[in-house]
Amino acid sequence: MGEATPAVAERGPLAADRAVRASARAGRPRGRRWRATRTAYLFLAPGLLLFALFRVYPLIEGLRLSFTNARLGRLTSAWVGGANYARLLEDTRFHVSLANTFFYTAASTVPILAIPLVLALALNRGRLRTLLRSAFFFPFTLSVVTVGLTWLWLLDPVVGPFNYYLRSLGVPARSWLADPTTAMWAIIGTTVWWVTGYYLVIYLAGLQDIPRDLYEAAAIDGASAWRSFWAITLPLLRPVLLFVFVTHIIGSFQIFGQVYVLTLGGPGDATRSVVQHLYETAFQNFFQFGLASAMAWVLFAIILAFSLLQFRLLRGHTEF
C-alpha cells in the first residue's frame, strides 16, 4: 500500500547544476568533474548496493527461476523451458484464484475510489476537518492482521455484534465468512474500512490544491454546485484520481493478508487469491519455487498491463 508512485516529471536544470557547470568551466574541468562524479557515487553506494541486491537481482532471478524446476533444498535446478507456464494453463486452482482476484479488484474499485472521494468532498465543505480526517484515517494505522481479526470478531455468526444489530433491524443473521456468496464481499468491506482514510487524505490534499477562485468564478456565472463538480473538481482532480486508481489496482491484485486472516481462501476456494496460491505453492506445498515464480511473473504482467492501460486512459492533458 502506498508504495507505488508513478513516474515523476523531471525538474528543470538546478541552480546547483549551473554552479557546478560554471565552476567546472572555470577550474581544471576534468578534475572537478571527476571529483563530483566520484562524490556522487560514493553517496549513492550504500543505497544502490541495497537496491541492487534486494530489488534488482531478485527481479531477474525470479524470472530465471520461473523457467526451472527449482525447489527448496534442491541445490541444482534444471532448465525446463516454459513447462511451469504450461502447468499454470492447466492448474484449475490457479484459474480460480485469478478469477477471484479479478472479481475482488473489479468489485472493490468503485467503493474504494468513490467512498473516500464523497467523504473528502463532504469534509472539505464542513467543519472539524482535522478531527474527522483523523477519525477516518485511524484504521489505516493498523496492520492487516489487526484489521482482519477485528472484523473476524465483529462478523462472528453467533456472538458478533454485526449480526446482532442487523437482526434488530430485521435482517436475518448469517455466517458472512462461511458463505461463498458473501465471503468476498466481507473481505471487500473490511478492506474499505482499512484503506478509506488513506485515500481520503490524498483526495483532501488534491481538493485543497484546486484554486478557490475557479469556484467563485463559476458561481458568478451561475453554475450549480453539481456543474462545478463536473466542470472543475473532477477534471482538476484527474492526476489524483489516476494515482488512487493505479495504487488501488496494484494493491488489489496482490491481496493476501485479509484473505489469510479472515477465510484462509475458503469456504472451498471462494476467496483464494493469486498471492495466497503463490504463497502456498512456494512455502507450504512442496516448496515449488519454479512454479510459484511463474505465477509471480504472470501476476506482474497483468499488473503492468493494467497500469499502462490506466495511464493511457486517464492521463489526458489537464495539467494545471
Q: Which of residues 251-310 bind another protein (CB under 8 A)?
A: 253-254, 256-257, 260-261, 274-275, 278-279, 282-283, 289, 292-293, 296-297, 299-300, 303-304, 307
Which residue, chain included where needed, has cell 525470479?
Answer: 62
- In the bound complex, what is the minimum distance in angstroms from residue 160's beta carbon to another protein? 8
Of 27, 29, 31, 50, the residue at the interface with another protein (CB under 8 A) is 50
CB 310 within 8 A of CB 109: no
List binders of another protein among 76-105 (CB under 8 A).
none
Give the nearer residue to another protein in terms of CB position, either 59 or 217.
59
Nearer to another protein, 47 or 110 (CB): 47
Residue 236: burial class (beta carbons within 10 Å; 0-12, 13-18, 19+): middle
Residue in 65, 98, 187, 270 binding another protein, rule: CB under 8 A: 65
Q: C-alpha grid cell for residue 218?
A: 463559476
Residue 164 engages another protein in binding (rule: CB under 8 A): yes
Pick from 27, 40, 216, 230: which binds another protein (CB under 8 A)? 40
CB of 308 to another protein, least distance (A): 9
Least distance to another protein, CB of residue 120, Å: 11
Q: Confirm or reject binding of residue 132 to another protein (CB under 8 A).
A: yes
Minimum distance of another protein from residue 39's CB (angstroms) = 5
For the chain, give me the number of helices (H) and strands (E)? 16, 0
- 179-238 positions binding another protein, by CB under 8 A: 193, 198, 201-202, 205-206, 209
| Cα dist from 173 to 68, 154, 221, 271, whole Å | 50, 12, 53, 21
The reply on whether position 113 binds another protein by CB under 8 A is: no
Distance CA 1, CA 198 (A): 9
* Residue 54 DSSP label: I
In whole angstroms, the minimum distance from the beta carbon of 95 to another protein comes to: 18
Is residue 302 within 8 A of residue 274, CB to CB? The reply is no
In whole angstroms, what separates CA 60 from the centre of its chain?
Answer: 22
Least distance to another protein from the beta carbon of 305, Å?
12
CB 210 within 8 A of CB 232: yes
Q: Tell the residue number behind the cell numbers 495504487, with chain if given.
A: 247
**# residues near another protein by CB under 8 A:** 111
Give the list of residues 6+ apart from residue 62 with CB closer than 8 angstroms, or none.
293, 296, 297
